[in-house]
Amino acid sequence: MTTKDDEEFREVDERDGLTVEEGDINQVLPPGIYEATATQAWVKRTQSVTLRLRFEVHDGEEPWISAFDHFVLKNSQGGERFPRQRLGQLYQACGEALLAGERIQFKLILNKRLRVRIEHQEFQGQTRMRIKNYLPLLADAAENGAYVPAPDELSMSKDTPF
């Protein structure tokens, strides 16, 4: 059965002259701090519980580029404390709070603007973006009386724990 929406699309062939541009396949922003929005959340339940988040990251010039982060929230070997601390940092950057004993509500952080620190990570011969940590938007942080570090204080030091 063909619908009206199907009729608007047709098979693409070489006559259309569509090409893949440099950077279309593996877009990687340089390391730095960028504005971002969490747009999707997935939870995978196996022996562990893993949260995967998709962020749309913007550098001011390029169109939005997707970056992903994941948090192992429950693991048969333990070790969930660090991912939960990072998740708390994400909620704070979005102007929300995670409180002990409350259910984690992903809807509180979806579509909220924040800043992310992007680093590079090599994986199977490819350079990938890795979200190192989360920061509030500068205007939000200053408005709430938070300390806003100067750009030179936001170095990419490997000594930073998150």
Distance CA 59, CA 61 (A): 6
Domain membership flag for residue 154: no
Tens of pLDDT, residues 66-117: 899 988 888 767 666 667 788 889 999 999 988 888 888 888 899 999 999 9
Tens of pLDDT, residues 120-148: 988 888 888 899 999 999 865 555 544 44
pTM of the model: 0.66
Domain membership flag for residue 56: yes
The strands making up 113-123's β-sheet, listed across from edge to edge, are: 65-74, 49-58, 32-45, 113-123, 126-135
pLDDT at 158 over 60: no
Domain ranges, residue 121: 30-145
Distance CA 8, CA 71 (A): 40
Domain membership flag for residue 13: no
The pLDDT, as a whole number, for residue 45 is 85
Domain membership flag for residue 5: no
CA Rg, the chain, in Å? 19
At 152, list the tokens. Answer: 């030179």
Domain membership flag for residue 45: yes
Tally of structural domains, the chain: 1
List the CATH number of the domain containing 119. 2.40.50
Domain membership flag for residue 139: yes
Domain membership flag for residue 69: yes
Domain membership flag for residue 112: yes
The pLDDT, as a whole number, for residue 43 is 87
